[in-house]
Homo-oligomer: A and B are copies of this chain.
Amino acid sequence: MAKKIITGGTIATATDTFKADILIEDEKIVQIATKIEDKDAQVIDATGKYVFPGGIDPHTHLDMPFNNTVTDDDWESGTIAAAFGGTTTILDFVLTAGETRLSDAVIKWNEKSKGKAAIDYGYHLMISDLNEETEKELPLLLEKEGITSIKVFMAYAKEFQASDRTLYKAFKIGKETGSVVMVHCENGSVIDELVEEAKLAGNTAPIYHALTRPPEIEGEATKRAIELAHVAGAKLYVVHVTCKEAVDEIIKAREKGYDVYGETCPPYLTLDQTALEKPDFEGAKYVWSPPLRPKSHQEPLWNALKAKQLQTIGSDQCSFNFNGKKQLGINDFSKIPNGGPFIEDRFSVLYSEGVAKGRISLNDFVDMISTNAAKIFGLYPQKGTIAIGTDADIVIFDPNAKRTISAENHHMNVDYNAFEGLEVLGEPVSVLLRGEFVIKDKQFVGSLDYGKYLKRKVAKEQ
């Protein structure tokens, strides 16, 4: 691989913003300097552009069976769309529900991702139940596969929901192995009852998806996860925080010194519950869990990001076509597959709505979109920043580009875009992964066998 120089750009890390050139050699950043010249190197002009570390999406579901169907984006379309959006690493959830041995699930996931990954990736291990055997297997499997994160659901009573006992055991194993435990915090048992009530009352439209999952129930589960993690001594990562109730609990926990991290997602920051009331069943496009909230919840989320009380932005990519898939719930909102297509727009929506609108700083943006995830999930210092010795995962970003998000030109394999019509400022122009172009001048030039599985190790400090 030839050396490369990125010249003329403004480098932005989670701390710093400065003009400098970057020299890349053997997949790594080896020099940063005022001006770099090297005849053997390919020169990439980044004048007028930001040079960001590649985005890290800590929350994706590619090629995942769910709600009696399967997501429409598999690893191929998913990782290509991610790359277009400025993301060079994803962490995908390996489903273990139904497997006798947890390792079987990893094998399945390797089959899904094999030869279909345009970008680097790692796995989180989803645990639904811990019995005597899986309790023993789990720490060994984490070690063997280089996985440093366990995922537990407090929702989806019929599919994935763990009991409090399993949740607590997962925290204990998190403590012992140093793994972070990620939790989907909603009280699934109560939601099931509310859904039944709604259906009995003849309330079948998509909006009832939101109304049967009230924010109080997310706040409750968040508090529960926090205290159980604290008693076990584990690090907790609350996925997809959507509401003031949950933010409040996270802030209080951190005030007490608990090791709690929080993730939110672009739709919760920009869309609201009224989207589920769109006519012609279009509300179904906005059905995912936890649901969109009333608009008043957006400001607490932005405030928590600004105050560094939420650390990361996940896409929670989990795409289902409107036609054929979302429409399965036309007569019953509970049959609408849960999830949405966000992997491509995560980066740009946060930049445009956050940085360009003055809500968060440029450096905090980098922290949220890349660095914090790298640190929390054991990818740092290989990933997540621009510094000597790190992987040359780089996004060259035009902060002045104006464009409108639309399914017509997105790269996800899904027939709608939840941000359809949103005008954004800023666009990834070129994206490099370990020194190689994946996206070059807005064209995909990567290869599906270049993305590597990332064995991780436990982060020593946050």
Nearest chain B CB to A14 CB, angstrom units = 4
Nearest chain B CB to A86 CB, angstrom units = 19
Of the candidates B34, B300, B309, the one whose C-beta lies within 8 Å of that of A307 is B309
Which residue, of A20, A231, A304, has the highest number of chain B Cβ atoms within 10 A? A231
User: Do residues A251 and B257 form an inter-chain contact, with CB atoms below 8 A?
Assistant: no
Within 8 A of B (CB), among A376-410: 381, 385, 387-390
Q: At the interface, yes or no: A165 with Cβ under 8 Å from chain B?
A: yes
- Give A219 to B228 CA distance when docked, in angstroms: 11
Of the candidates B11, B14, B224, B361, the one whose C-beta lies within 8 Å of that of A224 is B224
Q: At the interface, yes or no: A447 with Cβ under 8 Å from chain B?
A: no
Which B residue's beta carbon lies closest to that of A216? B227
Apart from A33-B388, A307-B308, list 10 A-B contacts with CB within 8 A.
Answer: A13-B16, A15-B371, A18-B390, A31-B32, A163-B189, A168-B193, A255-B304, A255-B309, A308-B309, A362-B461
Given A228-B190, A362-B461, is A34 in contact with B251 using a C-beta cutoff of 8 Å?
no
Residues in chain B near residue A362, CB distance under 8 A? 461
User: Do residues A18 and B307 form an inter-chain contact, with CB atoms below 8 A?
Assistant: no
Given A17-B381, A187-B164, is A34 in contact with B34 using a C-beta cutoff of 8 Å?
no
Residues in chain B near residue A168, CB distance under 8 A? 189-190, 193
Nearest chain B CB to A419 CB, angstrom units = 24
Of the candidates B31, B228, B299, B303, the one whose C-beta lies within 8 Å of that of A254 is B303
Of the candidates B19, B192, B361, the one whose C-beta lies within 8 Å of that of A462 is B361
- Give A306 to B308 CA distance when docked, in angstroms: 11
Given A220-B227, A303-B257, A307-B254, is A34 in contact with B164 using a C-beta cutoff of 8 Å?
no
Residues in chain B near residue A257, CB distance under 8 A? 299, 302-303, 306-307
User: Do residues A20 and B220 form an inter-chain contact, with CB atoms below 8 A?
Assistant: no
Q: At the interface, yes or no: A214 with Cβ under 8 Å from chain B?
A: yes
Of the candidates B18, B216, B227, B254, the one whose C-beta lies within 8 Å of that of A230 is B216
Of the candidates B16, B18, B165, the one whose C-beta lies within 8 Å of that of A15 is B16
Interface string of A424-440 (1 = CB under 8 A from B): 00000000000000000
Q: At the interface, yes or no: A30 with Cβ under 8 Å from chain B?
A: yes
16 contacts between A and B (CB under 8 A): A16-B381, A18-B388, A20-B387, A31-B32, A33-B33, A33-B388, A187-B224, A217-B227, A220-B223, A223-B224, A251-B251, A255-B300, A255-B304, A255-B307, A257-B303, A362-B461
Residues in chain B near residue A256, CB distance under 8 A? 303
Interface string of A24-63 (1 = CB under 8 A from B): 0000001111100000000000000000000000000000
Number of A residues, CB within 8 Å of B: 67
Nearest chain B CB to A270 CB, angstrom units = 17
Residues in chain B near residue A390, CB distance under 8 A? 18
Of the candidates B172, B220, B361, the one whose C-beta lies within 8 Å of that of A228 is B220
- Give A216 to B231 CA distance when docked, in angstroms: 8
Nearest chain B CB to A459 CB, angstrom units = 10
Q: At the interface, yes or no: A345 with Cβ under 8 Å from chain B?
A: no
Which residue, of A164, A251, A389, has the highest number of chain B Cβ atoms within 10 A? A164
Of the candidates B20, B303, B385, B388, the one whose C-beta lies within 8 Å of that of A20 is B388
Nearest chain B CB to A212 CB, angstrom units = 10
Q: At the interface, yes or no: A194 with Cβ under 8 Å from chain B?
A: yes
Q: At the interface, yes or no: A169 with Cβ under 8 Å from chain B?
A: yes
Q: At the interface, yes or no: A72 with Cβ under 8 Å from chain B?
A: no
Within 8 A of B (CB), among A225-240: 227-228, 230-231
Q: At the interface, yes or no: A92 with Cβ under 8 Å from chain B?
A: no
Residues in chain B near residue A73, CB distance under 8 A? none
Q: At the interface, yes or no: A23 with Cβ under 8 Å from chain B?
A: yes
Nearest chain B CB to A365 CB, angstrom units = 10
- Give A223 to B358 CA distance when docked, in angstroms: 26
Which residue, of A20, A367, A388, has the highest number of chain B Cβ atoms within 10 A? A388
Residues in chain B near residue A189, CB distance under 8 A? 163-165, 168
Q: What are the 5 A-B residue pairs with the smallest beta carbon separation, nearest first? A: A31-B33, A20-B388, A257-B303, A164-B189, A220-B227
Of the candidates B30, B248, B302, the one whose C-beta lies within 8 Å of that of A33 is B30
Residues in chain B near residue A192, CB distance under 8 A? 165
